Amino acid sequence: MAPAAPATAAVRRVKLGSQGLEVSAQGLGCMGMSAFHGPSKPEADMVALIHHAVAAGVTLLDTADIYGPHANEALLGKALQVGGVRDNVALATKFGKFLADGKVGIRGDPAYVRAACEGSLWRLGVDCIDLYYQHRVDKKVPIEVTKHKRVSDEKLIMKGKVGGGLVKGLANGWCQGS
């Protein structure tokens, strides 16, 4: 696959949160490429679509470990490896929602968050996730425990695994003021 060409049209950019992450106003949600909206699409077509979006100026690519499950992160990881795509995008993925024995589960405990992050890094083929956020709140774990652990975990933050040490966004279900 040929590398993505530079954008031909200016795409408006916006800041997410207060930590300095700036992305295109329109992002590309990758869920439907490999989960939940019918059968998985042909991989080569989806990689080409991701490259086309980046060439058109899209700089935010969003996925989650539950999509596929895991197949969507692996697909996005393949697209990121070609033509410097990774250097031109902000990569977002989510944790906290998983499938076990065909049923959806929710987890936000620190051990799960750490393991989920390491798995996402491996599937995406990257050493840092720009925006790592919780898909659903685990009602059995105080949000402060999940958030604090995610923000301060030495393996994720201090080693630069997530957004250079900054939490740049929050997702579905986060309480206001978090």
The reply to whether the predicted model has a pTM over 0.75 is yes
Residue 72, phi then psi, degrees to nearest 5: -70, -40
Report domain extents, the chain: 23-165
The per-residue pLDDT for 148 is: 60
pLDDT digits (tens, 9 = 90+) for 49-58: 999 999 999 9
Reported confidence tier of residue 4, pLDDT bands at 50, 70, 90: low
- Cα distances from 59 to residues 49, 86, 111, in angstroms, run 13, 10, 31
The CA distance from 1 to 42, in Å, is 14
- The mean of the pLDDT values for the chain is 81
Which residues form the catalytic set?
67
pLDDT above 70 for 177: no
Residues with Cβ within 8 Å of 137's Cβ and at least 6 positions away in sequence, in order, are: 96, 106, 108, 143, 146, 173, 174, 175
In this predicted structure, the answer to whether residue 16 has a pLDDT above a threshold of 80 is yes
98-144 tens-digit pLDDT: 888 989 999 988 888 888 988 999 999 998 898 888 888 888 988 77
Report pLDDT digits (tens) over 86-110: 999 999 999 999 888 989 999 988 8
Token readout for 84 is: 């410097």
Q: Could you tell me the pLDDT band of residue 167, with boundaries at 50, 70 and 90?
A: very low
Residue 168: per-residue pLDDT: 38
Residue 127, pLDDT score: 87
| Confidence band, pLDDT 50/70/90 cuts, at residue 158 | very low
Per CATH, the architecture of 23-165 is what?
Alpha-Beta Barrel (3.20)
Question: What is the distance between the alpha carbons of residues 130 and 62, in angstroms, rounded to a whole number?
Answer: 10
pLDDT over threshold 80, residue 146 = no
